[in-house]
Amino acid sequence: MASPASSPSVPIHKTQRFEDFYRLFEDKPGIYKYQEQINDIISKNGDSLIIFYEDLLAFDSQLAEMLKKDPESLIEEAINAFKNTLKFQGSKPIDKDYFVRISTIDEKSPLTIPLRGLRAKHIDTLVSFKGILIRSSPIRPKLIDATFECLVCKTQFNVTQLTSRIKWPKFCIKKSCKAKAQSDFRLISKHSTFIDWQSVTIQEIPEDLPPGRI
């Protein structure tokens, strides 16, 4: 079932629209697919909701297109909606991390592109492709938001980390403080944000290779 598109002048409440999708999407008449999945997650104390892009596209094409173009932001909205739904349907407090996984029904999905078709234009967008995993690194923690303490004035502040090499503050955020050297700060790991990170190498599946290529 599809919802009406919003007027350009009407604010788009993305979290609410994901909640509507979880609550109202019918796989078959009277079968509320994601409502049942969330009930199962509650009963098993799970933490991950799997949604199919094609289902979202059928229910709310505008929201699906936004997810395709800006997955990082929209997945946060989807997670918030998931948490809100858990609070409404369950009696347990939301006291851990929850996840929303995006999948596709088959290779005919509008998200699917051939591996050799990946280009710069696909950076930061949601895509799906098939391939053979040939190498993977161990899972390691990656620092994404570092909390530092100034050893001169004891002020704590955060510095976003964009690379694998730690970016240290060049000065204290307190204007009256004279701290300017890396040795004037210490990293507070327990207040910093880490994610699990892994590098993988994928190659095309044989049936996707052009004739004469191995």
The domain that holds 190 is classified in CATH as 2.20.28.10
Q: Over 60: is that where the pLDDT of 3 sits?
A: no
Are residues 98 and 151 both part of a single domain? no
Query: How far is residue 170's CA from residue 14's CA, in Å, rounded to a whole number?
Result: 38
pLDDT digits (tens, 9 = 90+) for 74-104: 999 999 999 999 988 876 667 788 999 999 9
The mean pLDDT value of the chain amounts to: 90
pLDDT digits (tens, 9 = 90+) for 17-44: 999 999 999 999 999 999 999 999 999 9
pLDDT of residue 94: 76
Q: Over 50: is that where the pLDDT of 47 sits?
A: yes
Q: Is residue 161 part of a domain?
A: yes
Q: How many CB atoms lie within 10 A of CB 66?
A: 17
Q: Write out the two tokens for 68.
A: 């395709």
Dihedral sign for Cα atoms in the order 88, 89, 90, 91:
positive
Which structural domain range is residue 155 located in?
140-197
Work out how many domains the chain is built from and give that number.
2
Are residues 45 and 90 both part of a single domain? yes
Q: pLDDT band at 201, cuts 50/70/90?
A: very high
pLDDT of residue 213: 60
